[in-house]
Amino acid sequence: MTSKYKSLDKKLGYSFKDIELLELALSHRSVGNTNNERLEFLGDSILNFVIGEDLYRRFPDIQEGHLSRLRARMVKGATLAELGLEFGLSDFMKMGAGELKSGGYRRESILADAVEAIIGAIHLENNGDMSVCKRVILAWYQSRLDKLSIKDTLKDPKTRLQEFLQSRKLALPEYEVVKVKGLSHKQTFHVECRVEGTEEVATGTGTSRRIAEQVAAAEALILLGVDTRENV
């Protein structure tokens, strides 16, 4: 491992022997034909299997539908992007000039794809030895998996708020980013959410606009008197 990637090596909990393979995993399609899309495809399949197997063993008494929702929560782009931020992938991504100028290094979808591509690269470097991928992925996800419960199969706050308002023929919520603080690679978003049924404005903060909107939606449900422990 070259000195350039020592910090990434530590955060990933895995040291690449093939640096070119790692750099390929970190190459966005904007750099040209030699990019991480094929590795991303492979990593996505591996991630779904590893997380699915862990959930199957972790929750022996819940049905397939609940398991699917739990897995979707773990492997969705937003969760992968959070991992990408934790790994500091923005500092290592290779992108074309246009993508860099538009701030692609902090875009959730690009970070999420890179995490999946890294999984694919780990798989290839170990000649398809799933035990290595499994060890690395479960280490990344351990704290998130340990916090999961059957309650996590409930719909997310934004979906629940929208369905609650629609069921009462009220206007859809309006979200507005009112402030963005911090450096470009480590920002905090402040969002306001306005809904019919209350004059109070719900607010939320998060490391991405999506997360801040979810927090604001959860607060809006509380302002509307909705029991946030149950589906609306």
DSSP for residue 75: H
* Sequence-separated (6 or more) residues with CB below 8 Å from residue 141: 51, 54, 74
Q: For residue 49, how many C-alpha atoms fall within 13 Å in the half-sphere facing its CB?
A: 14
For residue 101, how many other CB atoms are within 10 A of its CB? 9
Respond yes or no: is residue 44 known to be catalytic.
Answer: yes
User: Rounded CA gap, 188 and 95, in Å?
Assistant: 24
Helix axes 64-75, 130-147, angle to 10 degrees: 100
213 is catalytic: no
- SS3 for 10-61 is HHHCCCCCCHHHHHHHCECHHHCCCCCHHHHHHHHHHHHHHHHHHHHHHCCC
90/85 Cα distance (integer angstroms) = 7
Catalytic: which of 44, 99, 108, 192? 44
23 labelled binding-site residue: no
d(CA 74, CA 78): 9
CB hemisphere CA count around 203 (13 angstroms):
6
Task: Say how far residue 8 (Cα) sits from the centre of its chain.
Answer: 18
Q: How far is Cα 15 from Cα 1, in angstroms, rounded to an integer?
A: 7
The answer to whether the annotation marks 213 as part of a ligand binding site is no
Catalytic residue among 82, 99, 108, 116: 116
Is 113 annotated to bind a ligand? Reply is: yes
Residues recognised as catalytic: 44, 116
Q: Could you tell me which residues are annotated as the binding site for Mg(2+)?
A: 40, 113, 116
